Chain A
Amino acid sequence: LAKTTQPISMDSYEGQEVNITCSHNNIATNDYITWYQQFPSQGPRFIIQGYKTKVTNEVASLFIPADRKSSTLSLPRVSLSDTAVYYCLVGALSLISGGYNKLIFGAGTRLAVHP
């Protein structure tokens, strides 16, 4: 199972772009990369997922280089409400069950956005 490494914490200011990089050196061919956001007293919430190159949705972009050994979550123009813990997860779908083989959470990156 691919282990992920992220910075423990980051600080930013409102309106700035934040990039959080995750290392997953032993990612497998069938693994997807998924990022979750978690606020205190809530469960993790899906942000974005990708397999390779770049993925963009209404809240973030995900950049994945060709070797897929890392990925970068980009949050454009952060606000105070983006203060949260961000998790990078790597995992593959089971061909048998159609669900994810167990996903491993790392320590996550605690992002603090300041006024």
Chain B
Amino acid sequence: EAGVTQFPSHSVIEKGQTVTLRCDPISGHDNLYWYRRVMGKEIKFLLHFVKESKQDESGMPNNRFLAERTGGTYSTLKVQPAELEDSGVYFCASSQVGGGPGANVLTFGAGSRLTVL
């Protein structure tokens, strides 16, 4: 079974530019989550999709961040315009919907490292 795939693995951009991160969850996983870790800090929740709907976006830091999941498959996280403090590692995770052991287990991608200069 393919895992959660994130692209790009590393992106270096200048302040004010735009970056789009992509996450391909495990096939059939309706739950999709975005997390991020900024330098020296803990991993923080950003938002949660169930299929194409945003279930919880309370962790999104501000309106420069836009997450989409059209069709309920892959998801993108766009940062526009990027600021220095957006630098960090952005993780995507997915899980099954419903009861049973699989629904409780998040599978994480390797992360996308964003560096804003």
Chains A and B form a bound pair = yes
Residues of A within 8 A of B (CB): 32, 34, 36, 41-46, 49, 87, 93-94, 96-108
State the total of A-B contacts with C-beta under 8 angstroms. Answer: 79
- 21 A-B pairs with CB atoms under 8 Å apart are A34-B105, A43-B4, A43-B93, A43-B109, A43-B110, A43-B111, A44-B106, A45-B108, A46-B105, A46-B106, A49-B101, A97-B31, A97-B97, A98-B50, A99-B30, A99-B31, A100-B33, A102-B33, A105-B42, A105-B45, A107-B42
In the bound assembly, the distance between CA atoms of A99 and B97 in angstroms comes to: 6
In the bound assembly, the distance between CA atoms of A87 and B44 in angstroms comes to: 13
Contact between A44 and B55, CB atoms less than 8 A apart = no
Distance to closest chain B CB from A51 (angstroms)? 9
Q: Which 3 A-B pairs have the closest CB atoms?
A: A43-B108, A99-B31, A98-B97
- Among B43, B58, B95, B105, the one with the most A-chain Cβ atoms within 10 Å of its Cβ is B43
Residues of B within 8 A of A (CB): 4, 30-31, 33, 35, 42-45, 48, 50, 55-56, 58-59, 91, 93, 95-99, 101, 103-111
Contact between A100 and B42, CB atoms less than 8 A apart = no
